[in-house]
Structure 1
């Protein structure tokens, strides 16, 4: 065995050990392996990063951009918002999630399809009081199965197509994988509809900082705009659109008039509603109802002893959660 071969095997073994160890991020491990290959002379330094300009990398990156755009369009969330409340059993929810991820993976990158559906899975798990592991692992399998149906579903299909072009001069077309892929995906979805019971249950992740502080709910303010779906509608209609995950705790009209959120109270343009709930549920609700974040101009009143002790005010806006220290508010309470 030559010295470069010994270095190559040593780097590969170290790479596998680092992946199994799991203490470092996978992308960091890959970069460290590349740097080790450059320093040992296995990979010439002039071409060390040439792979980032490869067509496959650009295609995969473009697929992820399309996936992110599709996610932000809200099409999938709007569809599941209508379907999910009618399905209460864990098995039915598994079938819906796996089928949705599988179908999405046919047309967009399977990783992006899975990332789009993970928040929906957690939402369904909270509603049915089931373990998220019952949904997440079948969804991961569904994304892999759906990616087998078309050329762009998964990266290995693109790599194989390119290798075929180099060897024969003719790459695979978009739907050359479809006849075999559809059969495998259909069989996989049927199996997962029953096989999810084989997965470990009641497995919990490491507690987050939020759980450590025992902060359960957040409050924020949102303005009713002309594009909102609740203009001229009642508070009851707004609560229904929020899936009852978010509570309407107050309403401010004309900037100063505070009204009780009675169910029959009709909402008007420029009304400010006070919302309380889980941060992800607040984000989904604000986006779904087309409200406008308002909490920057007026301090948000938060419930709970834990929030006051921690001195934290949370303002939830589209795609973000902003945490600010509110010592002044504590001083006023004291």
Structure 2
């Protein structure tokens, strides 16, 4: 295609740079800044890029048709379909059952547990989207860590990293692979086959697994102590039991009224009432309080003391409030929730999210995505992706939460689901779901159908066989990712059409003159991986794959090998919690700090830069 962008040149640092290239560079810089700062969500940034590119068509060379081409791009269609296929597999419960059975064999041993997590997560995440795989495994890993007396922090980063390492085992593993394949087809006429990446990916996975089992295990901190949930969230000082005395003004007042007044006037939660052997939730009971009733309350210690003094109550210091006291199937359930990055509640406060009204839930504590424990001023706390919440709610509400995409539920709800999964056999639905998935892989691998069409055929099969309903299929799609993919694709077009990619490639060639091709390939790996940590893997591939191909062509190297290096590098966003969504999902439950990802992820990223570059050179040549 002949470029139609204006050729007006500007002298910059002694180089003649066209105005079109400067405009595209400005758009790239603005997009990178927005991706890094997250002033707006990445999908909104991507759509803004489309609008800007088309609006400035005389300079960018991107027409309206090209600007919207990302929505019809086979990679976008395929990843949309794969979200639905992954949801169908998840709903069968087979992945959960595998996790339970393997975990049953590893109880009590940290090393066996770590090896099982890595060994099981990898192959599964290579076939289906790794986000739901990690979502299913977080509660299992947390519960097993506590039973084994191991800090969950020692296991959750390896869970995320293993799912990322497995992303290149097949073309379906990540959206990044699919985008890279389409770019390779456009630039080189050579798309990726379903298993083209597998030989090197196996080496990468094994090296990464060995690192996590040895060096990584030593570098990982124990941020969250093992133990009961009330112990791990350190909420005991914020929980108390108080006795209603005969002179208390609460005698004769309904429990619900007392609970509402305490919350409104003091910000204190009255959780339940104990009357002899009888327990009932305070917030929903119209029963009148009696002398000798015992109230379980949550609040900061000074507030609890004010409540005691105002109500002429007597604190019972020996009556500790434990998991068992808060978690009784007859009256309430104690659950842990993780707020995924795609949750509609991200940015809401606990109060504005109306968790109490919507789910009959009381938030006892929050572990923010960064390790900070919040047990006071919970209502005003803003929710973020990766935050973990400890909540007390009802059985019915807990089951509803388990099916809600705004949360990943752990705790008792998960345990009960696991018990049901272990008791059940392999259903006809599971056979249909896995048969469909393997059929999609086979059709694409044998070239019977294009990968996007094969994936869509799988979606139809999932719905026709009753694995998913149409509404469940639509709900399974992470539309944020779809819009990000569709929005970022035209940026690659602009980089090529204006000559911006070639200009950067010329600069790279000049800077690396005299270096062996394999070293230049390794540098592209490091550069792409570094950017993937801050601007998302997909955006990194779109930016750097055209430049890598141009550079390889200029130095006489194999451009396909350079395209592969960029693809592998984009899946190694190990050094930040925001680089990949599974890193963010384990951030809160693991109590991690930002520096933990740098300490564990940086050596792994450097190690894989060497291993992957060498493997590509040996297997495909440079």
Alignment TM-score > 0.5, same fold: yes
CA distance in 2, matches of 1:154, 1:169: 21
With normalisation by structure 1, the TM-score equals: 0.59
Paired position in structure 2 for 1:142: 162
CA distance in 1, matches of 2:83, 2:200: 25
1:108 aligns with 2:128: yes
CA distance in 2, matches of 1:181, 1:190: 14
Paired position in structure 2 for 1:99: 119
Give the drift of 1:192.
0.9
Give the drift of 1:126.
4.7
Do the aligned partners of 1:217 and 1:276 also contact (CA within 8 Å) in 2? no
Secondary structure (helix, strand or coil) at the match of 1:151 reads coil
Match of 1:198 among 202, 206, 219: 219
1:120 aligns with 2:149: no
CA distance in 1, matches of 2:178, 2:198: 14
Out of 45-54 and 79-88, give the one that drifted further: 79-88
CA offset digits 1:228-277 (Å, max 9, x no partner): xxxxxxxxxxxxxxxx9x95543xxxxxxxxxxxxxxxxxxxxxxx5522
Match of 2:48 among 32, 36, 40: 32
Q: 1:216 to 1:189 in 2, by over 3 A?
A: farther
Match of 1:320 among 376, 390, 404: 404
Match of 1:88 among 108, 111, 118: 108
Rg bigger for which structure? 2
Q: 1:60 to 1:276 in 2, by over 3 A?
A: same
CA distance in 1, matches of 2:141, 2:126: 19
- Residues 150-169 of structure 1 mapped to structure 2, 5 A cutoff: 150-163=170-183, 165=185
Give the drift of 1:51.
0.8
Do the aligned partners of 2:169 and 2:201 also contact (CA within 8 Å) in 1? yes
Q: 1:98 to 1:249 in 2, by over 3 A?
A: same
Q: 1:301 to 1:48 in 2, by over 3 A?
A: closer
**Any gaps of 5 or more consecutive residues in structure 1?**
205-210, 221-243, 251-273, 282-299, 323-334
CA offset digits 1:133-159 (Å, max 9, x no partner): 433332232122212222222234334
CA distance in 2, matches of 1:97, 1:215: 38
Paired position in structure 2 for 1:78: 97
Point out which structure has higher relative CO (alpha carbons under 8 A, 6+ apart). 2
With normalisation by structure 2, the TM-score equals: 0.34
CA distance in 2, matches of 1:51, 1:40: 18
Give the drift of 1:60.
1.0
**Any gaps of 5 or more consecutive residues in structure 2?**
1-16, 226-234, 239-266, 273-279, 282-323, 339-359, 365-374, 380-391, 407-622
CA distance in 1, matches of 2:166, 2:404: 30
Paired position in structure 2 for 1:48: 67
- Residues 59-70 of structure 1 mapped to structure 2, 5 A cutoff: 59-70=78-89
CA distance in 1, matches of 2:22, 2:32: 16
1:180 aligns with 2:205: no
Secondary structure (helix, strand or coil) at the match of 2:108 reads coil
Q: Size of the alignment, in residue pairs?
A: 247
Paired position in structure 2 for 1:260: none
CA distance in 2, matches of 1:214, 1:104: 45
CA distance in 1, matches of 2:162, 2:130: 9
CA offset digits 1:78-131 (Å, max 9, x no partner): 232233254234443332222222111221133443344334334445545655
Give the drift of 1:56.
1.1
Q: 1:134 to 1:38 in 2, by over 3 A?
A: farther
Out of 161-170 and 48-57, give the one that drifted further: 161-170
Q: 1:47 to 1:21 in 2, by over 3 A?
A: same
Paired position in structure 2 for 1:325: none
